[in-house]
Amino acid sequence: MPEIEFDGHGSLSTTTESDRQHEYQRNIKDEICAHRAGVNCIAIDRFEGRYLISGGAEASVKLWDLAIATNTQYQFTNRPTAVVKKSATSHQYGVTHLCFYPFDSLAFISSSFDHKLKVYSTETMTASATFDLESVIYSHSLSPIASHLLVACATQHSAVRLVDLRSGSSTHSLAGHQRAVLSVAWSPHEEYILASGGSDGTTRLWDIRRSSNSLGVLDLEDSVGVVGEDGLGKNARHRNHGKAHTDAVNGVVWTDDGQYLVTASHDERVRVWDMSTGANALSHFGPTIQNTHLSTLLPLLVPSNILKPGKQAMFYPNQNEILMFDLFDGTLLKRLRFSGVAAAPVRGYTTQGGPRNRTTSLAWKAGDVGFYSAHSDGAIRAWVPVTPEDIEADKDMAQEANGDEDENRKRKRDALEEIFRDLTRQKITFT
């Protein structure tokens, strides 16, 4: 696989092989970044894994074609195929979250610090609908399985907001959190079940069909769960008190089988919950976890179909690195580190309290064993496993690249040896 860089400036994407060679031969000292003010979020379509969208701190949204870099041996610079710049009809402030439609990659949804939720056409990159929630939207979620088109929104308001894309209504809300809601996620197997995390330290579960909506909260001190009469929750009382974390919960993610929920918090803990009972699974990830930024921070769970049965793995977006853990026993499996570039400051955006190359978002590429990461230094990075074949190929390429240099060294060494032999044949007198 070629080394891929994302350059969000200059001309739009070019796809010919001669253009790729030109990109490969460019000055490698040029600073390359997708968004100069930082990348807040990314998303990849779940059908082909071909298109990536990125949202910047400067309010722009960019579309990237990941298939362009396929079957090229060169270092490749990917350029956006389309860009939505800050304007009167687009977002006015930094983009906070992005997601493709679950059933159609021809549309995607964006949210922003400007209080707006927008629906875009991927083909035209124009907004077909805009919802003003009159509050900062930290993240949103659209169910991957539901027949309804309800977008759950986590906002500065203490209630989860539901936007109905069919009717255009945004009046329904789920009250229960005491302060701002930072993260929401629909269950991948129960279309009416929703989880939310708030700055009050609670993680709540909701059934939007119920009149009271709330199913209760998760309690960090409960490692048994609510089992009910039959051990499966029958006639069990709902837990209405307790906290999942001791500080704000800004990340809520389901495993793809819906059996576990993963939460991340400002208390710098990641917890795993058995959703059959709501019990704390007591996974411990050690002291390496860092989480201090107000924005939503979502761990990336590796699809279960590429792992051994019974295994789950998690990539965690840490400050200056990405950490890979075993989800259940908390073992640190891998550290992925990177160097940053200088990102330009932008009005209304500050990096106080965190480094400029903070990891902001992770996205898995469908149909592949690899993922992409977004960073506050403006970069988007691609990650793939390194196989023994890759190592051998890299060695071969390095030997080819160094071939001319080795020949030059050999000629110099031969010349020096010849001079030394000539000198030793001569009679030398010291006076």
What's residue 352's pLDDT? 38
Work out the average pLDDT over 76-87.
89
Q: Which residue has the higher pLDDT, 314 or 76?
A: 314
**Do 372 and 383 meet the contact criterion of CB atoms below 8 Å apart?**
yes
What's residue 130's pLDDT? 94
What's residue 76's pLDDT? 73
The sheet that has 116-121: what strands, in order across it?
Answer: 95-100, 107-112, 116-121, 127-132
pLDDT at 425 over 90: no
Residues 97-120: tens digit of each pLDDT: 999 998 888 999 999 999 999 999
Residues 411-421: tens digit of each pLDDT: 656 655 554 45
pLDDT at 319 over 50: yes
- Choose the weakest-confidence range: 19-33, 268-282, 307-321, 368-382: 19-33
What's residue 308's pLDDT? 86
What's residue 402's pLDDT? 60
Percentage of the chain beyond pLDDT 70 is 74
- Residue 429's pLDDT band, with cuts at 50, 70 and 90, is very low
- Choose the weakest-confidence range: 28-32, 165-169, 344-348: 344-348
The burial of 29, by beta-carbon neighbours within 10 Å (0-12 exposed, 13-18 middle, 19 or more buried), is given as exposed
Work out the average pLDDT over 242-257.
95
Q: Phi then psi for 393, rounded to 5 degrees? A: -65, -40
What's residue 392's pLDDT? 66
pLDDT at 365 over 50: yes
Q: What is the residue-averaged pLDDT of the chain?
A: 81
Residues 123-138: tens digit of each pLDDT: 999 999 999 999 999 9
Q: What is the DSSP letter of 70?
A: T
Q: Which residue has the higher pLDDT, 410 or 48?
A: 48
- Residue 401's pLDDT band, with cuts at 50, 70 and 90, is low
Residues 185-207: tens digit of each pLDDT: 999 999 999 999 999 999 999 99
Whats the size of the chain, residue-wise?
A: 431
Burial 277-308 (b: 16+ CB within 10 A, else e): bbbbbebebeeebbbebebbbbbbbbebeeee
pLDDT at 303 over 60: yes
- Residue 78's pLDDT band, with cuts at 50, 70 and 90, is confident
**Do 140 and 109 meet the contact criterion of CB atoms below 8 Å apart?**
yes
The Cα–Cα gap between 136 and 116 comes to 8
- Choose the weakest-confidence range: 82-86, 248-252, 326-330, 403-407: 403-407
Residues 53-72: tens digit of each pLDDT: 999 999 999 999 988 865 55
| 417 phi-psi bin (left φ>0, alpha ψ -120 to 50, beta other) | alpha
Percentage of the chain beyond pLDDT 90 is 53
